[in-house]
Structure 1
Amino acid sequence: MIVITGCDTGLGLEFARQYAADGHRVHATCLDLRNADEARAIPGDITVSKLDVTDHAAIEAFAEGLAGAPVDILLNNAGIGRPHPPFGQTDYANWRRILETNLIGPMKLAECLVENVAASELKTMAFVSSRMGSIALNNSGGSYAYRSSKAGLNMVVKSLAVDLAPRHVSVIALHPGWAATEPGGRVPVAESVAGMRGVLHRAGRHHTGIFQTYHDQPLPW
């Protein structure tokens, strides 16, 4: 089974579509089931359920519902970013919301589903990050909330890779490129997702703790 968060639209929806098309059993979660018609319409062995990754009680209940079910890939995709107010106009309430969604929620999911992942054949946790979370590549500044959430997520990936190595769980951070999920995005969503899936398919256990682009190039932390 492959568990994918954030399947209301964009990358998550495409991940669910591609994995289901390849014959995988998919459990797709959406923030709002009222907007989940596209996910429900995906043919194949797919279950669609509601999950707000900022709601820890909901995550615990979701994990209880999967008790005993092996999860080959936990794909933490759900995330938010915009707006990006400039220095001096910081929206601190929204920053907290971004951190809860992009950083803390994925960590909670990893903790709650680690037994399921460790019991599977592939034993993979994947996190959709961003090159904007790379400290080494930050030459333009700004985007404080989004950058910090993804930089923090990258650190979580690194620590999980170390802590879960004895259980042979592979933990990987993925950069989807500037996907066409927002204005100006240049990488077609299907291409981005196919590329990230390829990275996961090719990665062996010894690749745990890596930060890769959708075209399989390493990124500096």
Structure 2
Amino acid sequence: MKLSALFIGLATAAATAHAHATVWGVWINGVDQGNGQNQYIRSPPNNNPVKDLNSNAVACNANNRAVPTTLKVKAGDTVTFEWFHDSRNDEIIATSHKGPIVVYIAPTSSNGAGNVWVKLYQEGYNGNWAVDKLIAARGKHSIRIPNIAAGNYLLRPELITLHEADTAYSANPARGVQLYMSCIQIEVQSSGSTLPSGVAFPGLFYKAEGGLPPFKISFHLTDRPAIVYIMTTSVSQYLVIGANRGLGLEFVLDIIKLRTPENKVIATYRDASKLDELNKLGSDRSNAGRLELVRLDMNDDESCKVAANEIQSKVGPIDVLIINAGIIDESNSLLQKNIDDLANLFQNNVLGPLRITQHFAPLLNTRQLSKLVFLTSQIGSISRGKNGISPSYGISKAALNMMGRKLAHELEPSNVAVVLVHPGWVQTDMGGPSAPITPAQSISGMLKVIDKVDLKNSGEYWQWDGQQLPW
């Protein structure tokens, strides 16, 4: 895309406020590394933007020089950048400063010079600008360290603000696109792949051809960069809703114990008095750093908001969101069903999962294929539904299935696949001891289903063993 007047119509509005920003510090896997200015961050002398696109300061800002500390990270670690204006947790940056966010990486030995910068992350406009989301997140945004070769690197987070981009800096130095960046020194302690060749700063920016007005400038977020690499890792981060018992707990146990050590799980719970199994799992030293516990009530908007902010701060993007929570109803008559009880069933089995989706979909990792998983039931099959088995429960699951189908359409442009999967009749508190399927069998099968779903079969209706169910 070209950045046109449509997206930067605010360009003539706000040249008066000077609420600029710079990076205050970094968090690694949710742990605050403290004030990094001139310690592990090659901090500029002030929070002013870089506007001259031909300046060497485009690489690491002004005053690019080595600092005394280097942060140690591993492949799969979540690195969160914390921005500020004058003091920590202040206004971050003026709300007039709309634009995208990008993150690059380069070998420290290059000092940022040459074709060395490889893109790890980008976010532009998707209903809101990335900088708007940064302000709402109190100055924080996150990336995951890719599986790259061990060594020292520079991370380069950058805000690109467009409120004065109606005129090129070369035409009027009082205006022009504003770039805010800093370089953070890290040491990667893993043994992955060598970085591909990258791009150079300065040099990646250019003005659009064809005699277009000066405000139509193509940046390195657009459709004509010199080179763009989005690095991904084999690490997956799972968020399991309702994880302190039943199938939710079994999902956590299976992912932690049987999947590769790089996989991480965020497990939500509502009742802190029922965490014995999860606490035991988390206390095992072999699982260090692989399990996060977060309190969540899916029927409470404020609880969902707090949990989403906590997860975004501690963990960053989610690859697989498994919504397991729900309740069963075994009454056999709709004519005699209490309407309030039916409303409660829908609250837990339909509206609760939708509320979770609304709050947590923004956390899904859209830079690669991610999955949104709903545990449903074969009782929700309309073609099989002409019987007297749990009609209220069946109606709620049929509604959940339709919701999943609609979300599959809505989320496809965001690179999110929706999985609707029936776990079978399982030996849990809900299924009872006489059920024919063990939790281990069900979870193993469902994880295989989750793994094989992509955008082509997103929104389909599956049984735990990989067979498709009729609607």
Same fold (TM over 0.5): yes
Aligned residue number for residue 140 of structure 1 = 387
Aligned residue number for residue 35 of structure 1 = 274
2:373–2:419 CA contact under 8 A, matched in 1: yes
2:346–2:396 CA contact under 8 A, matched in 1: yes
In structure 1, runs of 5+ residues without a counterpart are none
CA RMSD in angstroms, aligned pairs only: 1.6
CA distance in 1, matches of 2:265, 2:275: 15
1:75–1:126 CA contact under 8 A, matched in 2: yes
CA distances 1:81-139 after superposition (whole Å, capped 9, x unpaired): 03425344313322222211111111111111112114353411000000011111113
Structure 1 counterpart of 2:305, from 49, 60, 63: 60
CA distance in 1, matches of 2:454, 2:397: 24
**Runs of 4+ deviating beyond 6 Å:** none
How many residue pairs align between the two structures? Answer: 221
In structure 2, runs of 5+ residues without a counterpart are 1-236
**Percent identity of paired positions between Structure 1 and Structure 2:** 29
Structure (1 or 2) with the greater helix fraction: 1
Is the counterpart of residue 108 in structure 1 residue 358 in structure 2? no
CA distance in 2, matches of 1:40, 1:149: 33
CA distances 1:126-170 after superposition (whole Å, capped 9, x unpaired): 000000111111132242321111111101100000011111110
Structure 1 counterpart of 2:463, from 209, 213, 219: 213
CA distance in 2, matches of 1:138, 1:147: 8
One-letter amino acid matched to 2:272: L
Assess, with a 3 A threshold, how the Cα gap between structure 1 residues 120 and 148 changes in structure 2: closer, same or farther: farther
In the TM superposition, residue 31 of structure 1 has moved relative to its aligned partner by 2.2
Structure 2 counterpart of 1:188, from 418, 431, 438: 438
One-letter amino acid matched to 2:355: K
One-letter amino acid matched to 1:62: A
Is the counterpart of residue 77 in structure 1 residue 324 in structure 2? yes
Q: TM-score normalised to the size of structure 1?
A: 0.93
CA distance in 2, matches of 1:4, 1:131: 21
Determine helix, strand or coil for the equivalent of 1:26.
strand
Which entry has the higher C-alpha Rg, 1 or 2? 2
One-letter amino acid matched to 1:7: A
One-letter amino acid matched to 1:206: K
CA distance in 2, matches of 1:161, 1:17: 28
Assess, with a 3 A threshold, how the Cα gap between structure 1 residues 54 and 65 changes in structure 2: closer, same or farther: same
CA distances 1:37-65 after superposition (whole Å, capped 9, x unpaired): 11222242111222121112211221122
Deviates more, 1:152-161 or 1:87-96: 87-96
CA distance in 1, matches of 2:335, 2:344: 19
Is the counterpart of residue 9 in structure 1 residue 254 in structure 2? no
Deviates more, 1:71-80 or 1:106-115: 106-115
Aligned residue number for residue 173 of structure 1 = 420
Structure 2 counterpart of 1:203, from 453, 458, 467: 453
In the TM superposition, residue 25 of structure 1 has moved relative to its aligned partner by 0.8
1:129–1:174 CA contact under 8 A, matched in 2: yes
Deviates more, 1:25-34 or 1:118-127: 118-127
Assess, with a 3 A threshold, how the Cα gap between structure 1 residues 41 and 121 changes in structure 2: closer, same or farther: farther
Aligned residue number for residue 46 of structure 1 = 291
Q: TM-score normalised to the size of structure 2?
A: 0.45
2:372–2:419 CA contact under 8 A, matched in 1: yes
In the TM superposition, residue 71 of structure 1 has moved relative to its aligned partner by 0.5
CA distance in 1, matches of 2:242, 2:338: 23
CA distance in 1, matches of 2:367, 2:465: 26
- Could you say which structure has the greater relative contact order, defined with CA pairs below 8 angstroms and 6 or more residues apart? 1
Determine helix, strand or coil for the equivalent of 1:89.
coil
Assess, with a 3 A threshold, how the Cα gap between structure 1 residues 64 and 137 changes in structure 2: closer, same or farther: same
